[in-house]
Structure 1
Amino acid sequence: MLKIFAALVIMGLALIAFRFANAAAIPKTGSAAPSFTLPDAKKQNHSLADYSGQWLVLYFYPKDDTPGCTKEACSFRDDLFQLEKLGAKVVGISVDDSASHAKFAEKYSLPFPLLSDADGKVADSYGALTNLGIIKIAKRYTFLIDPKGNIAKTYLSVDTSRHSQEIIEDLKKFKQ
C-alpha cells in the first residue's frame, strides 16, 4: 500500500513539473500580443491582425457549455453593445473544436467569434494553457489588447459574473 501511495505521489509531482516546465510565460503589459490565426465555429480563420486599429478583448476559457464558461460568454454577449461602443471586439478561445463552438454559440446566441485552438499552441503562447500531457485545457485568462496590438491589461483572476463589466470600466479609463 505504501509503495502504491509513493508511486502516485511521484507521478503527481512529475505531472506538476511537466506542466510548469512546458508553460509559456504570460505576455507582459505593454508587450506585443502573440499573433494567431485560428478557425471560428464556421471554420473561417481569424488573425490578430484582423483586429488592428481597435481594442480586442481576447478571452481564453476552459470548455464550451459549462457553467462558468457559459456565464462568462453570456455576460460578454449581454454587454457587447457597450464594449463595441468603446471600440472593442470580443473573441473567445478554447481548445474545443469548431463544431463544439458552433453548438455553444447557437445555443446561447453568442454574436462574437469563438476560435478553436485544438492543439493549444495559441493558449500556450499567452501562458493560458494547462497541459497535462494527453489533456489540454485553456485557463480562464483574458487579455485586453490595444489598437496597436499590445497587451494593455491582463486578467488572470476572473469573476465570470462581472468580468465584462470590469473590462468596460477599464476601457473607459484607457479612453480618457
Structure 2
Amino acid sequence: MLQKNDSAPNFTLYATPDQKISLSEMIGKNVILAFYPADWSPVCSDQMALYNETLKYFKQYDAEILGISVDSKWCHMAFGKSRNLHFPLLADFEPKGAISKAYGVYDETEGECKRALFVINKEGVIEWSYVSPTAINPGADGILDALEKINK
C-alpha cells in the first residue's frame, strides 16, 4: 500500500457513463480517495453516506472526495442516485482493479478493492493512508486529522 510522501499515481476513470475524471485535474486541491469493496453493501453504504454528510467539512480544507470501487459506472450511477450522494464514484472496472492495484489496495482473493483511504495534498503527494478491516466503517476522523495537518 502506498504511504505518506509517495506520489499519488494518476488515473482517469469513469464517474458517469459518459464522463471521466482524472486525478491530474485535481492538482491545486486536496483530494481524498475512498476505496471501498462494493456498492450496495451495508458497510459501504454507511461509509459513503457518512462522507456525503461530511462534505462541508472537507470543503473547508479545499478537499474533494472521490469514491472508488471495481463496480461499473452504471452500478455507481444507480447507487449514487439511490443514496443521494453529492460526490463522484469512480469505476475501477476495466481493466478490473488496475487503479486499486497501483495504490496497493486490491484484494485478489475477493476481486474487489480493500476499504482504504488516502489523503493527497495539492501537489499530488500522499499525506496519509489507511486500510480498514472490510467489515468496519473507518469513519472520517483520520481524514479530517490529515487535512488539518496539511493546513498547518
- Report if TM-score (shorter chain) is over 0.5: yes
1:169 maps to 2:139:
no
Larger helix percent: 1
1:29-108 pair list within 5 angstroms: 29-108=4-83
* CA RMSD across the alignment: 1.4
Query: Is the 2:70–2:92 Cα contact (8 Å) retained in structure 1?
Result: yes
Q: Normalised by the size of structure 2, how large is the TM-score?
A: 0.91
Secondary structure at the aligned position of 2:10 is classed as coil
- Give the CA deviation at 1:103: 0.8
Asked if structure 2 preserves the Cα contact closer than 8 Å seen for 1:60 and 1:141, the reply is yes
Q: Secondary structure at the match of 2:87?
A: coil
Alignment partners' CA distance in 2, 1:130 and 1:116: 16
Q: Is the 8 A contact 2:119 2:146 kept in 1?
A: no
| C-alpha deviation, 1:65, in angstroms | 1.2
In the aligned structure 1, how far is the partner of 2:34 from the partner of 2:144?
A: 14
Write out the 4+ residue segments of structure 1 that deviate beyond 3 Å after TM superposition.
none
Separation (CA, whole Å) in 2 of partners of 1:143 and 1:166: 10
One-letter amino acid of the structure 2 residue matched with residue 175 of structure 1: N
Alignment counterpart, residue 107 of structure 2, candidates 130, 133, 137: 130
Q: 1:41 Cα shift?
A: 2.8
Give the unaligned 5+ runs of structure 1: 1-25
Deviation of the 1:157 alpha carbon: 2.4
What SS class does the counterpart of residue 32 from structure 1 fall into? coil
Identity over aligned pairs, percent: 30
Max Rg structure? 1
Cα distance between partner residues in 1 of 2:17 and 2:32: 20
Whole-Å Cα distance in 2 between the matches of residues 56 and 43 of structure 1? Answer: 22
State the alpha-carbon separation in 1 of the partners of residues 125 and 92 from structure 2.
21
Uncovered stretches (5+) of structure 2, i.e. residues with no partner: none
Partner amino acid, structure 1, of 2:4: T
